[in-house]
């Protein structure tokens, strides 16, 4: 596996390995089986002559001043072992100075989708995400980029970014991988104490309840949202939002939940913030 720490090293590697297509998985490291499913999907899409490229970069510009940038886990050696087992070909592991050269001042406006839901709670977050992903795409030049559905708003905004800015890359959204109790796999799950870990399962239980109600014909947005919040709140989590939205526009269904719909949840457990979603069609 090739480890490239600079942009020029990665570009050199990419030129020398020219052949099949490049499939890209951007990450912030602290890899888990959820990332494993993305990298394995990349391997299938790349085939034996293509390249699976993974970036590991904890991007400072997408964290707010009070957020967990400094404590974000950085187990690089473990990450490398995972990537080798998942058959990645190349890892791009730049420093912040490499990604943001002194004087670099450009950023990408994520548009209206960037200021709702997580964008309202984490101002500037999606500007940071779009900017770093645009830069990574300019370096890696992949045919496809694979993102996880857990970060639902992120994958939607990045699809808009590549469409609106005519970037020649296909964005593929991969299903969320879950723990046996349904908790969506996330690098931030490792912050949870054993008690909090047990409480966190309530997020998926609440989403599954909403899906069950929806399948049974319930369309009352207020009742579904109240039921979601109640279930998560009872487990001891602080709910930031629990909403039924249109999955393409993120418009919140205020009265009647229509089809298609995504149930979106953000909640905190102590200082850990968790998000999850379920799409129903």
Distance CA 164, CA 172 (A): 16
Cβ nearer to ligand PAF, comparing 59 with 229: 59
Question: Applying CB under 6 A, does 26 fall inside the site for ligand PAF?
Answer: yes
Distance CA 206, CA 190 (A): 21
| Tokens (6 digits) for 79 | 């990450």
Q: Rule CB under 6 A: choose which of 14, 24, 27, 262 binds ligand PAF.
A: 27
Give the nearest distance from C-beta 226 to ligand PAF in angstroms.
Answer: 30
Q: Rule CB under 6 A: choose which of 132, 206, 244, 261 binds ligand PAF.
A: 132
Query: Under rule CB under 6 A, which residues in 177-236 are in contact with ligand PAF?
Result: none
Cβ nearer to ligand PAF, comparing 59 with 189: 59
Cβ nearer to ligand PAF, comparing 56 with 116: 56
Q: Rule CB under 6 A: choose which of 79, 89, 118, 151 binds ligand PAF.
A: 151
Cβ nearer to ligand PAF, comparing 187 with 199: 187
Give the nearest distance from C-beta 214 to ligand PAF in angstroms.
Answer: 27
CB 231 within 8 A of CB 239: no
> How many other β-carbons are positioned within 10 Å of the β-carbon of residue 99?
20
Question: Applying CB under 6 A, does 142 fall inside the site for ligand PAF?
Answer: no
Q: Is 82 a catalytic residue?
A: no
What number of chain residues touch ligand PAF (CB under 6 A)?
Answer: 10
Q: Which of 219, 195, 128, 174 is nearest to 33 (CA)?
A: 174
Q: Which stretch binds ligand PAF (CB under 6 A): 42-50, 129-137, 212-220, 239-247?
A: 129-137
Question: Applying CB under 6 A, does 275 fall inside the site for ligand PAF?
Answer: no
Q: Rule CB under 6 A: choose which of 133, 183, 203, 280 binds ligand PAF.
A: 133
Q: Which of 35, 82, 125, 160 is catalytic?
A: 35
Question: Applying CB under 6 A, does 83 fall inside the site for ligand PAF?
Answer: no
Give the nearest distance from C-beta 73 to ligand PAF in angstroms.
Answer: 12
Which residues are known to be catalytic?
35
Residue ranges binding ligand PAF (CB under 6 A): 26-28, 59, 62, 129, 132-133, 151, 154
């Amino acid at each position: 596996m090739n480890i490239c720490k600079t942009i020029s090293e990665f570009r050199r590697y990419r030129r020398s390995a020219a052949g099949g297509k490049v499939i890209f998985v951007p990450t912030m490291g602290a890899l888990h089986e959820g990332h494993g499913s993305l990298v394995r999907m990349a391997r299938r899409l790349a085939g034996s002559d293509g390249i699976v490229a993974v970036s590991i970069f904890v991007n400072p510009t997408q964290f707010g001043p009070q957020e967990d940038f400094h404590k974000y886990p950085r187990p690089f050696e473990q990450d490398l072992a995972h990537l080798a087992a998942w058959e990645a070909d190349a890892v791009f592991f730049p420093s912040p100075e490499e990604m943001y050269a002194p004087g670099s001042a450009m950023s990408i406006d994520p548009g209206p989708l960037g200021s709702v839901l997580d964008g309202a709670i984490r101002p500037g977050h999606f500007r940071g995400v779009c900017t770093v992903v645009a830069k990574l795409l300019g370096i890696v030049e992949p045919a496809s980029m694979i993102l996880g559905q857990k970060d639902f708003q992120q994958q939607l905004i990045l699809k808009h970014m590549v469409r609106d800015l005519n970037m020649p890359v296909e964005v593929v959204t991969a299903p969320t991988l879950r723990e046996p109790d349904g908790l969506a796999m996330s690098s931030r799950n490792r912050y949870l104490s054993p008690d909090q870990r047990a409480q966190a399962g309530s997020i998926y239980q609440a989403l599954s309840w909403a899906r069950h109600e929806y399948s049974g014909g319930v369309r009352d947005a207020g009742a579904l949202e109240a039921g979601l919040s109640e279930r998560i709140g009872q487990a001891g989590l602080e709910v930031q939002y629990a909403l039924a939205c249109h999955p393409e526009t993120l418009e919140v269904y205020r009265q009647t939940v229509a089809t298609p719909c995504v149930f979106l949840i953000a909640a905190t457990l102590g200082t850990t913030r968790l998000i999850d979603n379920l799409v129903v069609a």
